[in-house]
Amino acid sequence: MVDIAPAPTITKTIDALQQGGVFGYGFVIAKLPERGHAGGLNVFVFRLVEQHLPRMLLELIGIERMQSGSCDLPVLTHFILVAQHLLEERRRSRVGSQQTQGLLLGARARWVLDDVTPLRQFGPEITTSDAYLFQSRDAVRWRWDNNQETPLPPEVPTGDNPPDGAILNYYLKTVPSGEITLTINDAQGNVVRTYSSKAEPTKEDLPKNVPDYWLAPAPVLPTNVGLNRFAWDLRYPDPPALRYGYYGEKLPYQEFTLTDHAVPGKTPHQIPQGPLVVPGEYEAVLNVAGKTYRQKITVGMDPRIKVSRADLIEHLNLQRKLTQAMAETYNRYNEVTAIRKDVVQRQKALVQNTAAKDAGDALKAFEKDLDSFETGTEEAPGFGALNRELTRLVTMVEEGDALPAKTIVAASQEDLASLDKVRAQWQKVKAERLAAVNSLLQKYQQTGLSGGGQ
């Protein structure tokens, strides 16, 4: 057992700290027995010592005593318990300089809480439940800096910001035997995003032009006994993008060129990312062992941004149309390349069969058709070129929060119209040319080409 303050006491204490002007600073919560007392919790409030940032020192600016209650230790997975001798050593040096105080605790226990929401809601009903989803605090729709300078190297000591988006805390009494899921719904009940405790298989394994330590880990739900934390980044799923270079050439690797998301360990794998949601009410639905737990999420607007909700909705609608078109062109392109591989294999199988010249000629002509659907021309772009152009448009729309410019809307409509056209042509080719080629292949006891889907 470990002492912890009851939720009302903690709420009162944290509120007092916020009203005292230290909101946004770091909190360290630790047990600290005192002579003649049973012990309880102290909230140590810190701020970074600006002149010592390279050494990551913390400066003590206040201590708040809490009354003690009780809870099971597993609940405190993310609450920091510092060894008593370290705290006592710091207490003995309390009369020393602030810099020395920061050194003692900062060097030995640099643990800072950035979200005390679970403390406010903690009660006996949590530890007696198999699982529990806490009500999240309001989230703010922030956007990363779009004009970031050259990123700092990983070896440069820097602080760590709280996770992006809505921080969701949930309690698990035991490690689940199966998969758990978290679904985010909008106010109309439409699914915005779904997460799982199982990692998704990698869609592609292309080499990258940056070291892996720059990239953020895949968003997988933790399943630890006790308190777990997960952050929804307030975005729809990332759209799949084909790998093209700055000048439009197809690349055999994944290229990272923009600095606006370059943070060691936080850089998104996929650029562009999915669209940000509009401010409003959302719902988090946690599913554990067949049981469902629900909580509301309130998303607020960045107070620095002055834009109407109607404009944001129109902005989102355009982004979603473009990202859905990106997904379609990505899938269609992969379908075409899969058929091309089949064509090459059938050509190799028929190369020694001189009687099958008609089938060989049909395969050669069909392969030429596939070129127009993979890349195409400037006047009649294929699925690959369209995915590249749609990716550029999504990147431009993503750069700010405003009613989309007329030129971007016009360019989007042009690319979407081109997609409608090439989609219809592809369906016709599959229904007519592909069927004819497969008929010839079967004549020479060869398996037909794939790609019969819609």
Q: Are 376 and 382 in contact (CB under 8 A)?
A: yes
Instruction: Report the chain's mean pLDDT, rounded to a whole number.
Output: 76
Residue 107 pLDDT exceeds 80: no
pTM over 0.85: no
Calpha distance 325→317 (Å, rounded) = 12
Question: Which CATH number applies to 129-306?
Answer: 2.60.40.1930
For the chain, the 3-state helix, strand and coil shares in percent, each to the nearest 5, are 40, 20, 40
Tell me the average pLDDT across 41-66: 37
- Helical axes 84-92 vs 98-108, angle rounded to 10°: 170
Query: In the structure, how many helices (H) and strands (E) does the chain have?
Result: 9, 13
Other CB atoms within 10 A of residue 154 CB: 12
Calpha distance 97→179 (Å, rounded) = 51
Burial class (CB in 10 A: 0-12, 13-18, 19+), 125: exposed
- Residues 204-243 have pLDDT tens digits of 678 888 888 888 999 999 999 988 999 999 999 999 999 8
- Provide the sign of the torsion angle of the four alpha carbons 142, 144, 147, 149, taken in this order: positive
- Residues 6-40 have pLDDT tens digits of 444 444 444 444 444 433 334 444 444 443 334 44
pLDDT score for 146 = 65
Q: In what order do the strands lie in the sheet with 131-133?
A: 131-133, 166-172, 226-232
- Helical axes 383-397 vs 357-374, angle rounded to 10°: 10
At 382, the pLDDT band (50, 70, 90 cuts) reads very high
DSSP lists the bridge partners of residue 285 as 183, 294
Going from N- to C-terminal start, the domains of the chain cover 1-118, 129-306, 311-443
At 355, the pLDDT band (50, 70, 90 cuts) reads confident
pLDDT score for 264 = 84
- Residues 383-402 have pLDDT tens digits of 999 999 999 999 999 988 99
Calpha distance 40→157 (Å, rounded) = 33
Calpha distance 139→134 (Å, rounded) = 14
Residues in the chain: 454
Residue 339 pLDDT exceeds 70: yes
At 48, the pLDDT band (50, 70, 90 cuts) reads very low
Q: Are 58 and 65 in contact (CB under 8 A)?
A: no
Residue 103 pLDDT exceeds 80: no
Which of 201, 204, 235, 205 lies closest to 218, judged by CA? 201
- Strands 280-288, 291-301: pairing is antiparallel
For residue 356, give the amino acid letter. Answer: A
pLDDT score for 147 = 66
- Residues 154-169 have pLDDT tens digits of 787 777 777 889 999 9
Q: Are 46 and 26 in contact (CB under 8 A)?
A: yes
Calpha distance 168→162 (Å, rounded) = 12
